[in-house]
Amino acid sequence: MNNATNPVRVRFAPSPTGHLHIGGLRTTLFNWLFAKHNNGKFLLRIEDTDRERSTQAYTDSIIASLEWLGLIPDEPIMIQSSRIDEHIQLAQALIEQGKAYRCICTQEEVLDRYTSHGGNPEQVKYDGKCRNQNKETDKPYVIRFAIPEDIDSIVFNDLIRGTVTIARDQLDDFIIVRSDGTPMYNFVVVADDAYMRISHIIRGEEHIINTPKQILLYQACNYAIPTFAHIPLVLGPSGQKLSKREAATSVIEYKKAGFLPEALINYLVRLGWSHGDQEKFTREELITYFDLSQVSSSGAIFDIEKLLWLNSVYMREKTDEQLYDLLHTEYGHILDNKNMAIPLIGLYKERTRALKELYDVIVNTIQGPAEYHDIYLQPLRTQQMVALLKQLVNKLEHLSVWNADSITNTIKIFAKEMHQKIADIMNPLRVALIGQHSGPGAGTLAALLGKEETVRRLTRLYDTIERM
Ligand code: GLU
């Protein structure tokens, strides 16, 4: 695909009106992989021409998310608003060439004329009234693109959807510059993609309706028309476009929840693209195998359970030290005690599926239960249990060697002496230590926490029961 005359250059072009979202990330990924696979360039353009809704904070957030994921642009980031003078000059040139015109019709006039002829007010089309009166004017005006008379349809080949045909009558002379002098999306996107020598436009399918307008603009400006690939939407479980109601949509939320970048990338790339049955890919494998022809043309449903599974697989591949560094950087100081945190990571990493979950169980173990849950506490509310726990404390206090084996053995012998099942001692001990029944072996936990802390937590449990 790449050769000296037509190198692959692709771009991701987010509007900084929100954080990077999951759909945008998948679009970025497909662009990035396509560029890398073809020895091309991946570029980033911030489309900030909607001055009211764009913010620097969102620009920074999008860039930070991409950095976190290692999807780094190959050239300096392009800020669309920095080229506004060029955009306006281009619009003027189109007017001079008779390919665009000033239109003084107000929105109300356009609407009235359209609906008075029975047109649907939801899909208003301009009737071309100002097309032939293209003079300088003192009145406020927009600049409209004059769709050439001699075309019946616009046809293009989409790398994912095949041939797409749009009839001429679906389009009207659309606005390229608003009355306040700001250029519109369809116009600037063409001006900038041409300026950046973009060879392939890979973007979400919601833009497919814009493509015919953009193709007409490319032709009017005598620019080479890039190749288009419109990728299907990421859908929520309901089959509708993924929405905040159904799942977190911002990439930063996934970072906060403790998803690893490699897991998120691996999951998202598989959403709509496949390479046989392979589920897990290294970045190098993705670059080698990625091909737009394997991207499905139907929407893909976002499945958080599968993402969690993949994340847990990647978590398990990390060493305890690596996970410690990740947890410490993301969530902070409570894990300062590395000697305690590292073994706990080892104990819990296979039981959790995201870093935040891992962090929470570790903090819970280090701090002990803030309060006991009724479902665990109520069954322990007997005099016999209080007596049992007191005796257990006594046994443990006299233990000279404090490690998982010695503690577990002591508990086993103690259970036998007291004619109890081992679980009937281990479970209350786990409730004392971490506030629940499930979790790592109670002997292992007690060994890590130390004798003093174990005794303190057991004492607190029976004190609580006695006071109920
Ligand atoms: N700025 C547009 C958006 O955020 C993208 C335009 C494009 O990719 O052509 O949806």
**Ligand 1 atom 3: the closest Cα is on which residue?**
14
Overall average pLDDT of the 97-119 stretch: 93
Q: Which of 436, 440, 429 shows the shortest CA–CA distance to 462?
A: 429
Which of 186, 198, 203, 233 has most ligand 1 atoms within 8 Å of CB, for mutation? 203
Rounded to two decimals, what is the model's pTM? 0.91
Contact 362/348 with Cβ under 8 angstroms? yes
Q: pLDDT of 6-23, one tens digit each? A: 799 999 999 999 999 999
Task: Please give the distance, rounded to the nearest whole angstrom, from the Cα atom of residue 206 to the centre of ligand 1.
Answer: 9
Residue 3 has pLDDT above 80, yes or no: no
pLDDT for the residue 172: 95
Across the chain, mean pLDDT equals 94
Residues in the chain: 468
User: What is the DSSP track for 11-33?
Assistant: EE---SSS--BHHHHHHHHHHHH
Residue 82 is predicted with a pLDDT of 96
Residues 314-346: pLDDT tens digits? Answer: 999 999 999 999 999 999 777 888 889 999 999
Active site (annotated) includes residue 244: yes
Torsions phi, psi of 193, nearest 5? -65, -35
Q: Note the pLDDT of residue 242.
A: 87
Q: What is the pLDDT of residue 134?
A: 67
Query: CA–CA separation, 185 vs 164, rounded Å?
Result: 21
pLDDT of 271 > 50? The answer is: yes
Q: From the CB of 14, is ligand 1 less than 6 Å away?
A: yes
- Report the pLDDT value the prediction gives residue 1, as an integer from 0 to 100: 46
Token pair of 126, please?
A: 């301009």
| 460 C-beta neighbours (distance < 10 Å), count | 14
Give me the helix-helix angle, 261-270 and 22-37, nearest 10°.
Answer: 80
Give the Cα separation of 466 and 459 in Å (integer). 11
In this prediction, what percent of the chain has a pLDDT beyond 70? 99
Least confident stretch, 67-81, 112-126, 302-316: 112-126
pLDDT at 118: 87
**340 is written with which tokens?**
């305690």
Distance 23 CA to ligand 1 centre (A): 12
Q: How is residue 349 written in tokens?
A: 């990493």
Q: How far apart are CA 200 and CA 215, in angstroms?
A: 13
Residue 51 pLDDT class (50, 70, 90 cuts) = confident
- pLDDT above 70: residue 4: no
200 burial class (0-12, 13-18, 19+ CB within 10 angstroms)?
buried
Half-sphere exposure of 261 (CA within 13 A, CB side): 12
Residue tagged active-site, from 244, 338, 416, 421 = 244
pLDDT at position 5 = 61
Residue type, 83: R
> Residue 293 above 80 pLDDT?
yes
Residue 110: its pLDDT value, please? 94
Whether residue 13 has its Cβ less than 6 Å from ligand 1:
yes
pLDDT tens-digit map of 116-161: 988 888 889 999 999 988 677 789 999 999 999 999 999 999 999 9
Percent of the chain predicted with pLDDT > 90: 88
Which residue has the CA at smallest separation from atom 6 of ligand 1? 13
| Residues 178-229: tens digit of each pLDDT | 999 999 999 999 999 999 999 999 999 999 999 999 999 999 999 999 999 9
pLDDT at position 272 over 80: yes
Measured distance CA(320)–CA(334) in Å, rounded: 17
Instruction: Give the type of residue at 231.
Output: I
Atom of ligand 1 nearest to the CA of 12: 8
The pLDDT of residue 138 is: 86
